[in-house]
Structure 1
Amino acid sequence: MTDRTEPTPGKRVERLRRAAGLSRERLAGLAGLSPTTVKFIENGKRSLTLRAAQQIAPHLGVRDLGDLFGPSVTLSLDSRSTHPRVENVRRALTAWHVHVGGEPASPDYLRGAVDSAWQTWHTSRYQRSEAGAVLPGLLDTAQRAVRLHTGMERRRSLAMLAQAYHLAQAFLAWHGDRELCWLTVDRGMTAALDADDPIAIAQASWYAAHLLRSVGRGDEALVRLAEARSLIEPRVADGPVEYAEMLADLHLCAALTRARTGDQGAWSDWEIARDVVHRALPADFVGLRTRVSRPLVEVYAVMCAVDLGDPDEAQRRAHSLDPASIPSTERRGRHYVELARSADLEGAREATLHLLAKADATSPETVRYSPAARDMLSRLVTEAPASIRAEAVELAQRAGVTP
């Protein structure tokens, strides 16, 4: 009897890849994806997203994405859940202060306002809503200060404006408006360069690297990170503690970038970051904006293991890490999502749902807006055993996910 079952998108990718004579590693390299991502798309452990399909298609000789998704799949160009405050942030980013007057906010005031906004981001369960509420005013105040100050006061204000743009990028990252994210990266880097502040430039490079990696330009991201390290590393020994914090964060970003492309060299960067944190920072140190700390280094180890497709190593790394020690509600929620990804790789549906529920209890907006969490919930709704399907449906509904 002939099997008339429609092949899944993953099976279609595998079939076309084999027909093109490409290994998974070769296709991943051409498309700017990790070999693990291609593997999991093919075996159904990860959904084929529209962006991944667009990256893969040219290398498989595909001109119609229907050849990948099949006739029964409806494609949406607006698959990401958009936060209601995005429009206000967009307006603040695209406002130009042609005429300015009055007294500018002092650089010290700006630093306090920026630090308060970042503190909110890391401590609130609803960090996107609360940060989105203050971002328009923060951007406006910092932009005006830069226009009105001169000399050193202007340079200090520029460094704080760069930080405001970085927070805007963090807010926008999961909302699908790629052009707006690029705008924040460009504005943040321009402000940092104009400030001529090494820490500000390195931070801007860190944020640029995250966006470059997300669009398949991992090699370019690593170059930018190496340039930033060359700026920071000579200052670590004699400079303030922020230089060691920044150096560790740059190595952590490089580790994750390598892991996303299946490069085991990720562990080398991770080990350097761990050494810097343990050697050059106080044991209880927590970066105000970056949250660099000993627990965060271990969070990155779990992330790297998951992205390298090694759930056993991810679980081993997570075993001794108490989530309560992670000094950021937002990062703690993302850590639970990473653990859910690890369970998902092993096909452990009950554990995946349990961990996503923990993420939701920690930070509901992390689950609602994380592409990885939404993908897992979408599949759980249809694939979870009957014994937990009702719970999966309930959680998916709370997160605004429909299968």
Structure 2
Amino acid sequence: MVDQPALTPGQRVEKLRRGVGLSRERLAGLTGLGASTIKFVENGRRSLTLNVAQRIAPHLGVHDLGDLFGPSVTLSLDGRATHPAVDDVRRALTAWHITIDGQPESTDYLRGAVDSAWQTWHTSRNQRTEAGLVLPGLLDATQRAARLHTGADRRTALALLAQAYHLAQAYLAWHGDRELCWLTVDRGMAAALDADDPLAIAGSIWYAAHILRAVGRGDEALDRLREARALIEPRVADGGVEYAEMLADLHLCTALTRARTGDQGAWADWDTARQVVDRALPDGYVGLRTRVSRPLVEVYAVMCAVDLGDPDEAQRRAHSLDPQSIPSTERRGRHYVELARSADLEGAREATLHLLTRAEATSPETVRFSPAAQDMAGRLAREAPAAIRAEASELAHRISSPPV
């Protein structure tokens, strides 16, 4: 192992990168990361995560991650769930109904149950706990219905089953086994394809793109999103408002995926989404499941600017966006986390702490289970000026304490 005990992980990355003769831009291109991500890791504005370390290590000639993190860093392989309901959701996902009888719930009942679960997700301050309570029963009911119904009712039940899997993915995204997330993606896509429903298929691609992007397969995510847009766009004119909502959602997801790789072309997709929302969605429209709306388009603008490493643009975009207009408690909490990331990029530690505190007050579980929020809070607790260090340490302790 390279003996560099005095160097931070970011300094180690920079030294190794220079040693193999790679620019930041070239390393970013090889790994699918943004050049801004490499820059902020190296200068200490962003912590080196295990995911990023695994992606850059082969290109830096690193075979032992201790060369990046240092000998004093312990990498835990403990796969315990970080939310108490994960085990119940796992059992519901892997309880195959080999034999099944009785009468299924009606598709009208199931639609109401799925819609209610999504409404809870977006309105509860502790959405993961409440989703964890309803998901096992929801998965069971929709799985049974998809097996027992026939004809058009079966297709409707399959589309609703896909939505139940999507909610499970949203719940599992920041905790639990990665394999469980992939299971929800694959099951959701299979149900949507069996339903032969363009909206269900496009929605499943939207959810698949998020996990593909998260594991460094951004190019695949963009390919799948392109296919979904080609499926939906010809149907927008005659297919009703749901098709316009889906098209906007797909462009927003594309914009964020491109921004995560440092591609300034993200703004073109963001602008297309904005035009779709402005022209095709009624004033005040809010999508039930992903909360597509005019305020959400502006939320994505802030996210794109942060991921492109442009805190000035992020703050400019956020200036006229009233967080209270964001039609989702969960998304509002995540918006405050994004603003905290913007402040963190500029080294404004007091502002970072203030915004993380606002995020926690808005949605405690959004902050508790956000890797970005955990990272910022941990660094503030270690590095913040003495005047705010105690407050930062209290915040870090609160959001790292195990849920009850």
Distance 1:98 1:201, change over 3 A: same
1:35 aligns to 2:35 (yes or no): yes
- Comparing 331-340 with 96-105, which one deviates more in the overlay? 96-105
Partner residue in 2 for 1:398:
398
Partner residue in 2 for 1:167:
167
Distance 1:160 1:243, change over 3 A: same
Q: TM-score, normalized by length of structure 2?
A: 0.97
The whole-number CA distance in structure 1 between the counterparts of 2:334 and 2:88 is 25
Q: How does 1:280-295 map to 2 (within 5 A)?
A: 280-295=280-295
Partner residue in 2 for 1:299:
299
Partner residue in 2 for 1:264:
264
* Mapped contact 2:5–2:71 kept (Cα < 8 A): no
Partner residue in 1 for 2:254:
254
Distance 1:5 1:77, change over 3 A: closer
* Mapped contact 1:139–1:165 kept (Cα < 8 A): yes
The whole-number CA distance in structure 2 between the counterparts of 1:365 and 1:78 is 21
Q: Name the amino acid aligned to 1:127.
A: Q
1:276 aligns to 2:276 (yes or no): yes
* Mapped contact 1:344–1:376 kept (Cα < 8 A): yes
The whole-number CA distance in structure 2 between the counterparts of 1:80 and 1:383 is 29
Runs (5+) with no aligned partner, structure 1: none
The whole-number CA distance in structure 2 between the counterparts of 1:14 and 1:397 is 31
Q: Please give the per-residue CA displacement for 1:79-135, whole angstroms capped at 9, x wherever unaligned.
A: 997111111101100110011111101111111000000000000000000011100
1:381 aligns to 2:366 (yes or no): no
- Per the TM alignment, residue 28 of structure 1 is displaced from its structure 2 partner at its CA by 1.5
1:143 aligns to 2:104 (yes or no): no
Q: Name the amino acid aligned to 1:115.
A: D
1:372 aligns to 2:372 (yes or no): yes
Secondary structure at 1:13's aligned position in 2? Answer: helix
The whole-number CA distance in structure 1 between the counterparts of 2:401 and 2:354 is 17
The whole-number CA distance in structure 1 between the counterparts of 2:350 and 2:392 is 9
* Mapped contact 1:80–1:369 kept (Cα < 8 A): no
The whole-number CA distance in structure 2 between the counterparts of 1:95 and 1:35 is 43
The whole-number CA distance in structure 2 between the counterparts of 1:28 and 1:178 is 24
- Per the TM alignment, residue 69 of structure 1 is displaced from its structure 2 partner at its CA by 1.0
Q: Please give the per-residue CA displacement for 1:321-348, whole angstroms capped at 9, x wherever unaligned.
A: 0000000000000000000000000000
The whole-number CA distance in structure 2 between the counterparts of 1:6 and 1:79 is 30
Secondary structure at 1:399's aligned position in 2? Answer: helix
Distance 1:378 1:56, change over 3 A: same
The whole-number CA distance in structure 1 between the counterparts of 2:210 and 2:5 is 40
Secondary structure at 1:144's aligned position in 2? Answer: helix
Runs of 4+ in 1 over 3 A off after TM superposition: 78-81
The whole-number CA distance in structure 2 between the counterparts of 1:353 and 1:78 is 29
* Mapped contact 1:244–1:281 kept (Cα < 8 A): yes
* Mapped contact 1:81–1:369 kept (Cα < 8 A): no
- Per the TM alignment, residue 78 of structure 1 is displaced from its structure 2 partner at its CA by 4.2
The whole-number CA distance in structure 2 between the counterparts of 1:195 and 1:26 is 43
* Mapped contact 1:302–1:314 kept (Cα < 8 A): yes
Secondary structure at 1:253's aligned position in 2? Answer: helix
Partner residue in 2 for 1:131:
131
Percent identity, aligned pairs only? Answer: 80
Secondary structure at 1:104's aligned position in 2? Answer: coil
The whole-number CA distance in structure 2 between the counterparts of 1:255 and 1:295 is 16
1:237 aligns to 2:237 (yes or no): yes
Partner residue in 2 for 1:214:
214
The whole-number CA distance in structure 2 between the counterparts of 1:100 and 1:75 is 44
- Per the TM alignment, residue 77 of structure 1 is displaced from its structure 2 partner at its CA by 2.8
Partner residue in 1 for 2:117:
117
Q: How many aligned residue pairs are there?
A: 399
- Per the TM alignment, residue 32 of structure 1 is displaced from its structure 2 partner at its CA by 2.4
Secondary structure at 2:238's aligned position in 1? Answer: coil
The whole-number CA distance in structure 1 between the counterparts of 2:101 and 2:215 is 40
Aligned CA-pair RMSD: 1.3
The whole-number CA distance in structure 2 between the counterparts of 1:6 and 1:141 is 56
Q: TM-score, normalized by length of structure 1?
A: 0.97
* Mapped contact 2:291–2:327 kept (Cα < 8 A): yes
Q: Please give the per-residue CA displacement for 1:355-389, whole angstroms capped at 9, x wherever unaligned.
A: 00000000000110000000000100011011011
* Mapped contact 1:374–1:401 kept (Cα < 8 A): no
The whole-number CA distance in structure 2 between the counterparts of 1:318 and 1:379 is 24
Secondary structure at 1:237's aligned position in 2? Answer: helix
- Comparing 84-93 with 66-75, which one deviates more in the overlay? 66-75
* Mapped contact 1:31–1:216 kept (Cα < 8 A): yes
1:351 aligns to 2:354 (yes or no): no
